[in-house]
Structure 1
Amino acid sequence: MKFSLSWLTYYLDTQADLDTILKTLNAIGLEVEGVENPAEKLSGFKVAKVLTAAPHPQADKLQVLTVDQGDGNPLQVVCGAPNARAGLVGVFGVEGAVVPANGMVLRKAAIRGVESNGMMCSTRELELGDDHDGIIELPADAPVGAAFADYAKLDDPVIDISVTPNRQDCMGVMGIARDLAAAGLGVFKPVDVPAIAGDYPCPVEIRTDDPAGCPAFYGRVIRGVKNGPSPEWMQARLKAIGQRPISALVDCTNYLMFACGRPAHAYDLAKLSGPVVARRALEGERMTALNGKDYALTPDMTVIADDAGVHDIAGIMGGEHSGCADGTTDVLLEIAYFTPEHIARTGQALQLTSDARTRFERGVDPAFLDDALNLLTDLILQTCGGSASEVVRAGEPPVARRNFSYDPAQTLKIAGVDLAADAQHAILEKLGFEVSADWAIAVPTWRRDIDGAADIVEEVVRIHGLGNVPSTPLPRAPGVAKPTATPDQLTERRARRAAAARGLSEAINWSFISEKEAASVGGGDWTLANPISEDLKVMRPSLLPGLLSAARRNMDRGAASVRLFEIGRRYFRAEDGSSIEKLTLGIVMAGEKSPRGWQTGKARSFDAFDAKAEALALLGAAGAPVANLQMFGEAGGNYHPGQSGTLRLGPKTVLAEYGVLHPALTKAFDLGGTVVVAQLFLDAIPAKRRTGFMRAPYAPPALQAITRDFAFLVPEALEADALVRAVKGADKKSIVDARLFDLFTGAGVEPGMKSLAVEITLQPGEKSFTEEELAGISAAVVKAAEKLGGVLRG
């Protein structure tokens, strides 16, 4: 919600400076997101007068001007505006000024051989409008040499606050002023509502046939209006908050919405036919809205229609056909109350947002219909003239006030704030609550969010100042605290700490990715109907797209080596249509693993074995039985053929996949060189069995272990992991470890075969191995290899 400081002080009589206002807004829960002063970007622009204008000697469409900027030293300026002429008073940008529209810094320059100092400016260049046909023309009596921002009264800071969904009353400047006054920052000045009885009966029948979606529909006609530009003061306030002035009639409705938080609509009476009715849409009805888009309506949506058809998606957006134009002379004003939940469902179904929807779905003040209609009528009569009819009131708004009994001691009990009863009474009354002597409280109609004593405590504490709430530790229960983390949380915690300890940097990405990114990893099961943006539309089926995008951003900024990890969830659809979330740890490594060294003079890139090493280490840290893992080749289409693998418990339970990223994906994410990735499926790690509270005592072996080496010729297609596992299982009692230490192909090895060398570690028990025992173990190892097609090399 944006508003200018001058607009705020129209409803708030205060002497507070800007910094105090900003601090108070934050203190009472209206978080300030930004402040912008239009005068700051116009600091280098002055009111100036053109003294002479002559044709440019080298260009037909340019003129050479002599410009008086008020310092007694006229400057020569080259200008191409068709309205530039002697005697014109306009806006001049001095040397060094920055043009707001394009960021260009004005310098002394030669244009077609003629020196030019500064620039005469158009409204578009100063971001004050869309006009770019000529330079700004100011009144002849404008003070030459004065700062343009001061002359145009643009020194008016614009404040942008974040309004939480429960604070619908602060979706208008008047509600914000009321809160600040309650916080002691001045006196609230509510708007004066004129009583406009009407000069004649309303000539249009108005009714509501949908009391569930539109409980109340008020309207009146104004005849004889003259539409045109709205007053400068109104345009200035709307422009300050980013609203483009359209016409007096439209601007009046927008002004009411931003000033009082009350959306309204004006129809061109000449474009209506028959009664104007709030009703449900008919099957197959369509409407072209003011944004130029066509919408298919359904019978659960409330619309405003006449005999000719639908003119308005109720509470969200008006129709293109019946909108007010320059030639409009008679208008029908609409002030209605729409059920918030109904507006929210319609807006979500149509994926249509608007300022009106934002307010109606939060809940506008149901008691503000008559006053709002009179305020809007008064604005139009003052701006456009005309004669107003009597008001037609169809339906009844839900104006019943809620009442609660309240004990001032609850602020201390619930919030820990000891505030005197009279101070609480004053705060509540300033906020619009009615407080009786026995503390029976009537909630104002504009506070839909107040639903009990706890909410009243929140209001008191909020205005008293959230920073004034003391920090009070919770009472500690006696004894040893019970663990609160779940096994999954402990697994995630161990994995995160281990990844960081291994030099990986944690990335935190959205759980949503674009459709293009999802398609690159096989597509996602869940597509959002109402996404934040088109780039965040699909619930991610993989962590890789987010990590690869993060890697690209880092490398674009000059990072020579990128090592990232992320712990998050992937999202899938079950056969019964329910959602499945899988906890996953993703890794991406790109660039240089190590810089150029003196040995080779070359940098070393990451490879598939680096990804495998990280996967094994982090699986071990997460509690997976690493010693029992089996390695299977080819992790899928996201990986480079022949340079990937999976780690499994048995053939079906996949705990991790790793390898070199497929070149197509590397190109899709605009990454250069070799990129290696891994995904660890933490949800697939089997839970540990509880065997008791005591660990077995550590008993180191009494005798030293010994090693033996074996080299086997095996089929080229045989995976090394299969041979190592077979060798290790040849004598489970004596062989405690086995590892591959050499791979050889070439001279001496026949085609289709390869040589694999394995080192086994033997651990004797109570006595050393005899020669016969060692020979038996060796024979068992050779026999295990032979079952896989291996032959002991001579």
Structure 2
Amino acid sequence: MKLSLSWIKDFVNIPEDMDMKQLAYDLTMDTVEVEDVEYLADHFDHMVVGVIEDIEPHPNADKLRVCKVDIGDGEIKDIVCGGINLEKGMRVAVSCPGAIVRWHGEGEPVEIKKSKLRGVASYGMICASDEIGLGDLFPASQEAEILDLSAFDVPAGTTLADALDLNDVLLEIDNKSMTNRPDLWGHYGIAREIAALYNLPLAEIKPFETDVQSDFNVEIADPDRCPRYIGVEMSGVNVKEAPYQMQSRIWKVGMRPINALVDITNYVMLATGNPTHAFDADNISDHIVVRHAAENEKLLLLNDKELSLCTDDLVITDSEGPVALAGVMGGAKDSILPKTERVILEVANFEAAGIRRTALRYDNRTEASSRYEKAIDPERCDQALALSMQYFKELYPELKVTGYCDKYVKKLKRAEIDVNLVWLEKRLGKHLTNDEIQGKLEKLGFDVQINGEDMHVIAPTWRSTGDISIKDDVMEEVARMYGYDNFEPTSFTTTFDSAINQKDQDLVRNMKEFLAIRCGMQEIYTYPWVNDVYLNAIMQTTEGMLRLSTPPAPDLSYLRASLLPNICEAVAKNERYFNDFSIFEEAQVFHDANYTSPYDKSELLPEQRRHIAGAFASSVKDVKELFQEAKGVLEYMPRYTHQAAFEFRKEEKPVWADNVVWLNIYRGDEKIGDMGLLAKKASMDCGIKNLSVMLFELDVLKLKPLISRTNKFTHLAAYPENEYDISMLFDSNAVWSDMHEAILGKKKASEFLKKADFVDEYRGKQIPQGKKSVTIRLTIGSNEKTLTSQEIENVANQVMKKLQKKMGAELRTQ
């Protein structure tokens, strides 16, 4: 939001020597964030008002003329110009060398320099309004029309900023910093804050009074949605231009002046923060009714957008139907027409949440709805009405008020808060006297009563629509008015205990580091919603999933209950660039489990868990390699991340998996995840054409980190260790775990045996039917000496004898 400093000065007398940077800093520290201080006159540097003394034809161009222009420096300048409305004696805007303009209002800004146009020297440029950024303030009626400033009675050479009252300072406010401060959405609200900050008097807006008696009436059907509605019927008006000062102020803060009737409503909204609207009274049949729309009731808005309304929408109607969408935009039926002579002024207050829903529903946020949805107080209608009637009477001296109705059906209750002064001092960390506290709050409009250590505070109406509701809000008001910069830093005493060991969090971090660093996988991040294509391919059902009421796109309406659909989408997108890669993601998943909120037992919440999932995709590896890679990663994960080991079983096939290549992952008797090959149909439905994809997914909350580390430090071997391979024949159904137990079980084959590792297995022509050859690598060594070759042979023989005795193994001879 932009604010004009000269406009603010209508309400508070800011000292002329006030440093604008200091003002912006103080407002930022105490009230709202000032993003920028813009000196408007800087945009019109090297621009002056010139008077055309004579006009001559250009010798070399039919559409150009040579103007003799007085720019106030005592010398008549030749300026070549192609404007179609040039006249002798006309006051024009002249951009002298050094000025920055946009040619014909388009393209990048350029600097004006002395130049020749078709062989004739030209000093500067006579400008159209859009070439110097004034197109909205002085709209051209036709192409190549020069800005005519003849209505401004200023001498030649007057700077353009002085002539057009553009020596103003604009404060640009970050809207997000005042979302909870509806009182600040206008110049008067900011002026009130400045008055409180610098202890300056604030101008009072005197209320409008009338004794008009008429049958003009307003009916409010829903007081909760419309607490107050003021209607004023007036005659003796017409459509004309508003005074230049009103137009320029509207333009300065980013809106476009239209005509006096419309400009008054916008001007009052920008001044007070309370929107107003003018109806053409001759287009209103009977009296005004504020009610809910009927289902599918039609309304054509001022922007020519036709709406099919619903019963949640609030509308302004006459006896024939809706004439405006309450708090958002007027209807085409009631618009101000070129021949309007009677108006009905609306000054109203509407419920914030309802206006927000309606504006969002029709994607039609306006300056009015942006203010109403912040929760404006209904008492502000008095200020908006008073200013509106002041300007109407000034612009239309013949105006007559023919009807007046103020329906205030739901009075605003001012917020009342009790604050203990001992608590306040403890929270502030500083002692302030009762007079200081009371003075600072009263500057902001609060009523304060102090009795001993207790303080009773009544918030002003403009702070009672949700902004001030608890004692902490009062503390914030005292602190910011005292000045956050004025609080001296103090040391505090604390006791540092031992670091908290958050093993659950460490486990998640360790798993991500294991997958990324040790396994070379790429971590990805996806949105929490799921594309319907991948949802149908992987999940094949939406049962138990959460549906978004306002999805980002029609095919993104469900929140993920598994990470695999988004993992597969990432695989499909990366297939264009890579033929062998692996990815993983750790994130939340959502289930419609209706958990009870710990804060409100009547509120049901979805279940939110954390999963970790990944994909191994390749067109250069066969399925066996991919399966071994994925299973190896999962088998080694517990060891490297220090958690309870996994077990692999075949109990229940995942819906997305191949019929053969899949495993369930268990920890003890509890299933914690799945892994498997993405089925061919699911792969094609995902658009994955040439890759084999091995997927896995684990429920992170079911993983259990080990309570304490069992690793022990051991010295490196002082004497050489030897590797010795043996190949033996086993029954084809023998498993490595049994072999390992036989070699290194409770009774080791030899004290010199350090380790036994699986190397490979082989089945072929040289191997008898029903048998397989297994190669085992033995690590043999002593902590006390270097073993001889005979001692090493003896250890290997002991291992082979033990395997022969325990498992019926035979030494392979060929």
Q: Scaled by the length of structure 1, what TM-score is found?
A: 0.73
Q: Distance in 1 between matches of 2:531 and 2:287?
A: 46
Aligned partner letter, 2:193: D
1:263–1:356: 8 Å Cα contact kept in structure 2?
yes
2:428 to 409, 412, 415: 415
Q: In the TM superposition, what whole-angstrom CA distance separates every residue of 1:72-113 from its partner, at most 9, and x where no partner exists? A: 777665543322455542232535735385323246677667
Which consecutive residues of structure 1, in runs of 5 or more, have no partner in the other structure? 553-561, 590-606, 638-644, 668-673, 712-722, 743-748, 750-756, 785-791
2:269 to 248, 253, 257: 257
SS in 1 for 2:108: coil
Aligned partner letter, 2:180: N
Q: Distance in 2 between matches of 1:42 and 1:646?
A: 73
Superposed CA RMSD in Å reads 5.8
User: 1:714 maps to which residue?
Assistant: none
2:38 to 36, 44, 49: 36
User: 1:389 maps to which residue?
Assistant: 402
Q: CA deviation at 1:154?
A: 2.3
Is 149-158 or 563-572 further displaced after alignment?
563-572
Aligned partner letter, 2:271: A
Q: Distance in 1 between matches of 2:637 and 2:163?
A: 66
SS in 1 for 2:161: helix
SS in 1 for 2:129: coil
User: 1:221 maps to which residue?
Assistant: 233
Q: In the TM superposition, what whole-angstrom CA distance separates every residue of 1:655-690 from its partner, at most 9, and x where no partner exists? A: 7999xxx999999xxxxxx99999985744751265
Q: Distance in 1 between matches of 2:692 and 2:51?
A: 66
Matches within 5 A, 1:53-452: 53-55=55-57, 60-63=62-65, 65=67, 78-84=80-86, 87-88=89-90, 89-92=92-95, 94=97, 97-99=100-102, 102-106=107-111, 118-130=124-136, 131-132=139-140, 133=143, 134-139=145-150, 142-155=154-167, 156-162=169-175, 163-184=177-198, 186-193=199-206, 195-197=208-210, 200-385=212-397, 386-436=399-449, 438=451, 439-448=455-464, 449-452=467-470
Is 1:695 aligned to 2:710, yes or no? Answer: yes
1:5–1:159: 8 Å Cα contact kept in structure 2?
no
Q: In the TM superposition, what whole-angstrom CA distance separates every residue of 1:123-160 from its partner, at most 9, and x where no partner exists? A: 22222224353122223854544543343332323322
User: 1:7 maps to which residue?
Assistant: 7
Aligned partner letter, 1:464: Y
SS in 2 for 1:377: helix
Q: Distance in 2 between matches of 1:368 and 1:760?
A: 88
Is 1:653 aligned to 2:665, yes or no? Answer: no
1:315–1:360: 8 Å Cα contact kept in structure 2?
yes
Q: CA deviation at 1:732?
A: 5.7
SS in 2 for 1:278: strand
Q: CA deviation at 1:567?
A: 6.0
Q: Distance in 2 between matches of 1:546 and 1:171?
A: 46
Q: CA deviation at 1:346?
A: 3.6
Q: Distance in 1 between matches of 2:58 and 2:663?
A: 77
Is 1:463 aligned to 2:474, yes or no? Answer: no
Q: Distance in 2 between matches of 1:427 and 1:687?
A: 56
Q: CA deviation at 1:308?
A: 0.7
Q: Distance in 1 between matches of 2:187 and 2:34?
A: 14
Q: Distance in 1 between matches of 2:362 and 2:157?
A: 53
Aligned partner letter, 1:14: I
Distance of aligned partners of 1:52 and 1:432 in 2 relative to their CA distance in 1, 3 Å threshold: same
Q: Distance in 1 between matches of 2:713 and 2:251?
A: 77
1:706 to 723, 728, 746: 723
Q: CA deviation at 1:381?
A: 2.2
Q: CA deviation at 1:617?
A: 9.7
Matches within 5 A, 1:559-570: 568-569=587-588
Is 396-405 or 303-312 further displaced after alignment?
396-405
Is 645-654 or 443-452 further displaced after alignment?
645-654
Q: CA deviation at 1:400?
A: 3.3
What is the identity percentage for the equivalent residue pairs of Structure 1 and Structure 2?
A: 27
Distance of aligned partners of 1:679 and 1:18 in 2 relative to their CA distance in 1, 3 Å threshold: farther
Aligned partner letter, 1:104: P
Is 271-280 or 208-217 further displaced after alignment?
208-217
Which consecutive residues of structure 2, in runs of 5 or more, have no partner in the other structure? 574-580, 596-603, 617-625, 745-754, 766-772, 783-791
Q: Distance in 1 between matches of 2:692 and 2:48?
A: 59
Question: When the two structures are aligned, how many residues end up with a matched partner?
Answer: 726
Q: CA deviation at 1:30?
A: 0.9
Q: Distance in 2 between matches of 1:135 and 1:508?
A: 58
Q: Distance in 1 between matches of 2:555 and 2:155?
A: 51
Matches within 5 A, 1:558-597: 568-569=587-588, 583=610
Distance of aligned partners of 1:621 and 1:763 in 2 relative to their CA distance in 1, 3 Å threshold: closer
Q: CA deviation at 1:446?
A: 0.9
Is 355-364 or 308-317 further displaced after alignment?
355-364
User: 1:770 maps to which residue?
Assistant: 796
Q: Distance in 2 between matches of 1:535 and 1:149?
A: 53
Is 611-620 or 302-311 further displaced after alignment?
611-620
Aligned partner letter, 1:152: L
Q: CA deviation at 1:309?
A: 0.4
Q: CA deviation at 1:480?
A: 4.0
Q: Distance in 2 between matches of 1:548 and 1:567?
A: 16
Matches within 5 A, 1:16-55: 16-50=18-52, 53-55=55-57
Bigger radius of gyration among the two = 2
Q: Distance in 2 between matches of 1:410 and 1:291?
A: 54
2:643–2:705: 8 Å Cα contact kept in structure 1?
no
Q: Distance in 1 between matches of 2:556 and 2:21?
A: 37
Distance of aligned partners of 1:779 and 1:666 in 2 relative to their CA distance in 1, 3 Å threshold: farther
1:731–1:777: 8 Å Cα contact kept in structure 2?
no
Q: CA deviation at 1:459?
A: 0.8
Q: CA deviation at 1:41?
A: 3.4
Distance of aligned partners of 1:608 and 1:23 in 2 relative to their CA distance in 1, 3 Å threshold: farther
Q: CA deviation at 1:18?
A: 0.9
Q: CA deviation at 1:278?
A: 1.1
SS in 2 for 1:290: coil
1:263–1:359: 8 Å Cα contact kept in structure 2?
yes
Q: Distance in 1 between matches of 2:615 and 2:42?
A: 45
Aligned partner letter, 1:224: G
Aligned partner letter, 1:467: D
Q: Distance in 2 between matches of 1:262 and 1:772?
A: 96
Distance of aligned partners of 1:298 and 1:138 in 2 relative to their CA distance in 1, 3 Å threshold: same
Q: CA deviation at 1:427?
A: 1.0
User: 2:500 maps to which residue?
Assistant: 483
SS in 2 for 1:174: helix
Q: CA deviation at 1:222?
A: 0.9
Q: Distance in 1 between matches of 2:27 and 2:567?
A: 36
Is 528-537 or 324-333 further displaced after alignment?
528-537
Q: Distance in 2 between matches of 1:402 and 1:187?
A: 26
Is 578-587 or 58-67 further displaced after alignment?
578-587
User: 2:623 maps to which residue?
Assistant: none
Is 95-104 or 285-294 further displaced after alignment?
95-104
Q: CA deviation at 1:225?
A: 0.6
2:519–2:633: 8 Å Cα contact kept in structure 1?
no
Q: Distance in 2 between matches of 1:622 and 1:412?
A: 49
Is 54-63 or 356-365 further displaced after alignment?
54-63
Q: Distance in 2 between matches of 1:164 and 1:611?
A: 52
User: 1:599 maps to which residue?
Assistant: none
